[in-house]
């Protein structure tokens, strides 16, 4: 029985597509990605292929256009990155003592009990109100305030330890000095 359905069979063209992609990209992995992109485009646009057309030429032109699109996209992205780099001020790495101090604060924060850490994070870092944070944690407002108070007290104890490094302000504390 002979079927009259049109078949969109590209398996026989894979060798030619891979060779051409490899010559365009000069890299095996990029070539495979390009072939995959081209085959996806061809499948999505299979209705535009004429039955009497040359399948190889059609697929190779799709592959070529995909390569050109990628090259344009890369050039455009590089130009945007270059322009963005020109607009950014020169960044200076933080002094070593600030990096060490920040690591100490991070370690102290992470050593807080989970419920205190969650409560303090929602209020001090995410900027939620006490009511919003209590709702988020599904706890009463008083419980939230107690947890935050204990977390801040633990972090203040860290601040009161003698050291030669500059201190960091605990965000959101009532007794924190105003800038």
Q: What is the pLDDT of residues 95-116, one digit of tens each?
A: 777 778 788 888 888 888 888 9
From the centroid of its chain, how far is CA 81?
Answer: 16
Does 136 share its domain with 105?
yes
Domain assignment present for residue 4? The answer is: no
- CATH of residue 151's domain is 1.10.10.10
| Co-location of 115 and 61 in the same domain | no
Expressed as residue numbers, the domain containing 118 is 96-160
Which of residues 95 and 34 earns the better pLDDT score? 34
Same domain, yes or no: 115 and 83 = no
Instruction: Decide: helix, strand or coil at residue 73.
Output: helix
Residue 144 CA to residue 140 CA, distance in Å, equals: 6
Are residues 105 and 39 part of one domain?
A: no
Looking at the structure, tell me whether residues 106 and 150 fall in a common domain: yes
The residue among 99, 110, 97 whose CA lies nearest residue 163 is 97
Asked if 167 and 175 count as a contact pair (C-beta separation under 8 A), the reply is no
Check whether residue 106 and residue 139 sit in a common domain. yes
Residue 37 has pLDDT above 50, yes or no: yes
120 with 77, same domain: the answer is: no
Lowest-confidence pick of 30-44, 64-78, 98-112 = 98-112
Segment 51-77 shows an average pLDDT of 90
Q: Give how many domains the chain has, as a whole number.
A: 2
pTM for the model stands at: 0.45
pLDDT band with cut points at 50, 70 and 90 for residue 34:
very high
Residue 57 confidence (pLDDT): 87
């Amino acid at each position: 029985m002979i079927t009259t359905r049109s078949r969109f069979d590209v398996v026989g063209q894979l060798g030619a597509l891979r060779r051409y992609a490899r010559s365009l990209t000069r890299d095996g992995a990029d070539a495979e990605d390009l072939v995959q992109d081209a085959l996806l485009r061809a499948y999505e646009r299979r209705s535009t292929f004429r039955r009497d057309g040359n399948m190889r030429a059609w697929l190779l032109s799709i592959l070529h256009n995909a390569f050109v699109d990628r090259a344009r996209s890369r050039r455009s992205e590089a130009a945007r990155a270059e322009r963005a780099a020109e607009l950014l001020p020169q960044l200076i790495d933080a002094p070593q003592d600030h990096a060490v101090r920040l690591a100490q604060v991070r370690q102290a924060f992470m050593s807080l009990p989970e419920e205190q850490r969650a409560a303090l994070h929602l209020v001090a870092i995410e900027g939620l109100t006490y009511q919003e944070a209590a709702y988020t944690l599904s706890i009463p407002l008083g419980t939230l305030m107690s947890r935050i108070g204990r977390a801040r007290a633990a972090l203040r104890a860290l601040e009161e330890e003698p050291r030669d490094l500059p201190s960091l302000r605990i965000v959101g504390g009532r007794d924190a000095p105003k800038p």
